[in-house]
Structure 1
Amino acid sequence: MPSSAILCPPGFLDRLEAFSQLGSTGDGGVDRVEASMANGEARRALARRMDELGYQVRIDPVGNMFGLMPLAEQFAGQELPWVFAGSHIDSQPKGGRLDGAYGVIAAVEAGAALKERLRGRPVAANLAVVAWTGEEGARFQPSVLGSSVHAGLLPAETALARKDGNGVSLAQALDAIGFRGTDHAPKPAAYVELHVECADALEKSGRRLGVFDRWWGAHKIELMFIGATAHTGPTPMAERKDALLAAAEVITGLRRLADAAPPGTLHTSVGRLEVLPNSPNVVPDRAKLFMEIRSVDPDVMADAHARLMGLIPHAAAIARVAHRIVREEIRPPGAFAPSLRSLAREQAAALDVEPLGLDTIAAHDAVPMAIVCPAVVLAVPSRDGLCHSPREWTEPADLELGAAWLGAVLERLVTEGPQHG
């Protein structure tokens, strides 16, 4: 069957809609932060569906979920390589129903449809679908956690020891929902991820499909200011050691770095702030900031980081507090595999669509995967560029088109071999 005849898997939209009810917030969004009860419910539903479709379900030690679809044992006397497709099913608190889950459900359904199409035909690769643990980094940091472990960038023991804001480790949380496994999955020879854009370039251009050519780098820093508690009433202002005051200086200063940069070259944020004792009439003695510096240019990232490192002691001096860096994570910018980007464009053309070349500022599991194999991210439009929001939306016809596109790309990879992609 030629790629131009490949259609969206039957019932795909209904299955995606049903999956979005797991952890639903009632306003179009979902709350399935990693290893929560809702996340566990979604994992069990996914495992049941993969089993129904003939996948061999495997759970690794950090909770990554794999559905293995062996298409043939050997080709030309050699064991077949594995083509991976997938994304994640964890979400932000009150996140969107498509971010991550769209790519997983599309891969599961497209893979099963592909197996039916390939009956009796020779293949050059096996297929696996995957739902990675902790892509969002909402509960356990760093983000893209599970894929980083599979890529060998992060030891499993380190990932399992990471704790959430309540002191619960990833190991404990996975045990609580029954998804700390012992299985081992193969390494991919190619990885394809389908995702909503999480930006508005496709919508503005009027294009229905996009290929991510590059990813922005990110420097993530957890910073702690340490002051001293005191009564907010009688304590003289000059004698206070206010950790939150220092944090405020950094928050505004970090934003000014982005505002002063050429538009579209630097993004900064403080997305989370933990304050103790967090009482209205007590001077805070602890303030922990979760900061980000993002750019496609490593020199821009390095310059912003240097300026931030100068800002931190200045803020501490103003507030008369101490400070320390709790954790740093650097993800350099990079480019996805040219071979897979070309293949994706060819298969889009077979569907009579010209895709738009894009940068991704948000991280995806394809980024750590790109370290170990050719990887690419395929995108469909996000209305108003919204992501991490209950208002996240993609037109159903575009969701179907994206799923068909994924199926076409996977067919080429498993029939011709990843080295031809």
Structure 2
Amino acid sequence: MSTTDTQFLEDFAEMSRFGATPGGGVDRQAGTQADHATRKWFGDWLARHGFEETVDDAGNQFGTVELNPGAPYVLVGSHLDSQPLAGRYDGAYGVLAAAYACARVAEEFGAGTQAPAYNLAVVNWFNEEGSRFAPSMMGSSVFTGKMPLESALATTDGGGITVGQALAGGHRRPDGKAPGLASVALYAEIHIEQGRTLEESGTDVGIVHRTWAASKYRVTVDGAQSHTGATRMEDRRDALYGAALVITAARELTAEFEPGLLHTSVSEMNVLPNSPVTVARQVLMNLDLRSPDEDVLARAVALLDKRIIDAAESSRTAIALELTHSWGLVGYQPAGVELGRKSAEHLGFTHADVMTVAGHDSTNLKDAVPTVMLFVPSVEGISHNEAEYTRDDDALRGMELLTEVTRRLARGDLRKENPR
């Protein structure tokens, strides 16, 4: 193992102590003290390795290196925030791998062995997870113009704290020096797969070529508040019962299709009044449908609509679905996918084209600039869980691949052009 590899693993272990949980994971939701402490640690790392740290108005944290004055940036990164009681690798691995990749490539170009076409920048996107502040991928959404900055800063958590207030408690304030979208030519990101495909097939790395299609809803179930004991069963309009029927319907919907063609989930349930002796008057929750086939997703949505009607009738409640996010099968630029493949082949790594089921900041960036997205294996596909794990060999292999990709991007192998 090289000195760089050893240092990477040591740095990753040190970074993982911020927000560490008893179960071996981390809990550093966006804008919390644990998140701020991690960002401070990372800012110090950037300074020690020759990067200039800046933060933009949306809380995105950058480290820049100028190699070609006046040229745009190759931007590389992921996110340091986490879900509650989450794993150490989701997002954070990609940020540190990006930092190491950029530092190594900058050193190579600084030695004069190659002439760079672009400058380099590392990014830690703010609030990718969306657990404390919804929606997810907030920082990259603002960066790419998909979400107004004012809306992001005004977003509140469950306690009424705004994003703006949470960011004000951080280690560094915006100074107007952070890169903007206009100064970014290309983007690359590496992430743990969060699934079992690479591990089960014994494949070293994944080259992401497309996203799954998805439809996300905010579900409101309205019933009538009443006494849990005294109210006759036939008189009850129990919003929690209606919600349970929706949850069951969403799960059972997957059996209507071949295995692997539909994923469904319900999450973040809020029950009112949430009293032990009161029938719920309202339930709010999120419902998520995803598929690698747009026709399957459309049929699933149609079936769900019918089951929602049935659930409302059975529970004597009013159930409303508000579509909050949706997208089809969206591809990454073929030239970027091919660059990822060539990089893996050059290094002798086995590779496969894979689709991403989860959302990542790269899914925002790919709509603005040519983007390369890479995966490394996840043990047993476990993610958003303290048991999340990627083996050291896989993590180091991914860092090496990202370094090769960054090297090729920086020297101009993939020129900025219309991403579509």
**Same structural fold, with TM-score higher than 0.5 when normalized by the shorter chain:** yes
Q: 1:310 maps to which residue?
A: 306
- Residue 155 of structure 2 is matched in structure 1 by 162
Out of 297-306 and 341-350, give the one that drifted further: 297-306
Deviation, structure 1 residue 221: 1.0
Does residue 147 (structure 1) correspond to residue 140 (structure 2)? The answer is yes
The residue number in structure 1 matching 2:61 is 65
Q: Contact 1:9/1:404 (CA < 8 Å) preserved in 2?
A: no
2:120 counterpart residue number: 127
Question: 1:218 maps to what in 2?
Answer: 214
Aligned residues: 411
Q: Which residue does the alignment assign to 1:101?
A: 92
* Matched-pair contact (CA < 8 Å) for 2:186–2:416: no
Query: 1:132 is matched by which residue type in structure 2?
Result: W
1:20-419 correspondence runs (5 A):
20-73=16-69, 79-119=70-110, 120=112, 121-177=114-170, 181=174, 183=176, 184-187=178-181, 188-325=184-321, 328-419=324-415
Deviations 1:217-274 (A, max 9, x none): 2211111112222110111111112111110111011111112112111111002211
Alignment partners' CA distance in 1, 2:71 and 2:414: 10
Q: Percent identity?
A: 38
Deviation, 1:359, is 1.2
In structure 2, distance between residues paired with 1:401 and 1:49: 22
CA contact (8 A) 2:223 2:316 kept: yes
Deviation at 1:103, TM superposition (A): 0.5
The CA distance in 1 between the partners of 2:213 and 2:158, in whole Å, is 25
Cα distance change, pair 161–259 in 1 and its aligned pair in 2 (3 A): farther
Q: Which is worse superposed, 197-206 or 325-334?
A: 325-334
**Structural RMSD (CA):** 2.0
Separation (CA, whole Å) in 2 of partners of 1:372 and 1:420 = 10
Distance (whole Å) between structure 2 residues aligned to residue 55 and residue 30 of structure 1: 26
1:228–1:284: 8 Å Cα contact kept in structure 2?
yes
Does the aligned pair in 2 maintain the 1:82–1:186 contact within 8 Å?
A: no
Q: 1:178 Cα shift?
A: 5.2
Q: Structure 2: how far apart are the matches of 1:332 and 1:148?
A: 18
Query: What amino acid does structure 1 have at the position aligned with 2:66?
Result: P
Retained in 1: the 8 A contact 2:221–2:239? yes
The letter of the residue matching 1:352 is: G
Post-superposition offset of 1:407: 0.7
Deviation string for 1:20-72 (max 9, x for gaps)? 11100022200011111111111111111112222121211111111111112
* Inter-partner Cα distance in structure 2 for 1:294 and 1:415: 37
The answer (yes or no) to whether the contact 1:8–1:110 under 8 Å persists in 2 is: no
Aligned to 1:3: none
Question: Which blocks of at least 5 consecutive residues in structure 1 are unaligned?
Answer: 1-5, 74-78
Note if contact 1:142-1:329 (Cα within 8 Å) is conserved in structure 2. Answer: no
How far did residue 180 of structure 1 move? 6.2
Counterpart CA distance in 1 for 2:287 and 2:73 is: 37
How many Å separate the matches in 2 of 1:135 and 1:56?
Answer: 23
- Return the alpha-carbon distance in structure 2 between the equivalents of residues 235 and 267 of structure 1: 37
Q: Any idea what SS the aligned residue of 2:151 has?
A: helix
The one-letter code of the counterpart of 1:157 is E
SS, match of residue 81 in structure 2: coil
Q: What one-letter code is carried by the residue in structure 2 that aligns with 1:381? A: P
Give the direction of change, closer, same or farther, for the CA distance of 1:61–1:326 in structure 2 (3 Å limit): farther
Find the aligned partners of 1:178 and 1:7 in 2 and give their Cα distance: 30
Give CA deviations for 1:111-134 in whole Å, capped at 9, x if unaligned: 112111112232101111111111
The Cα of 1:351 is off from its aligned counterpart by: 1.4
SS at match of 2:411: helix
SS in 2 for 1:45: helix
One-letter amino acid of the structure 2 residue matched with residue 159 of structure 1: A
**Deviation (angstroms), 1:85:** 0.6
d(CA) in 2 for partners of 1:387 and 1:180? Answer: 32
The separation in 1 between residues aligned to 2:154 and 2:223, in whole angstroms, is: 28
Residues 219 and 321 in structure 2, CA contact (< 8 A), matched pair in contact too: yes
Q: SS state of the match for residue 349, structure 1?
A: helix
CA contact 2:218–2:285 (8 Å) conserved in 1: yes
CA distance in 2, matches of 1:182, 1:369: 23
* Shift of residue 354, structure 1, vs aligned partner: 2.1
With 98-107 and 387-396 compared, the bigger mean Cα shift is at 387-396
> For the Cα contact (< 8 Å) 1:266–1:294, is it kept in 2?
yes
Q: Which residue of 2 aligns with 1:76?
A: none
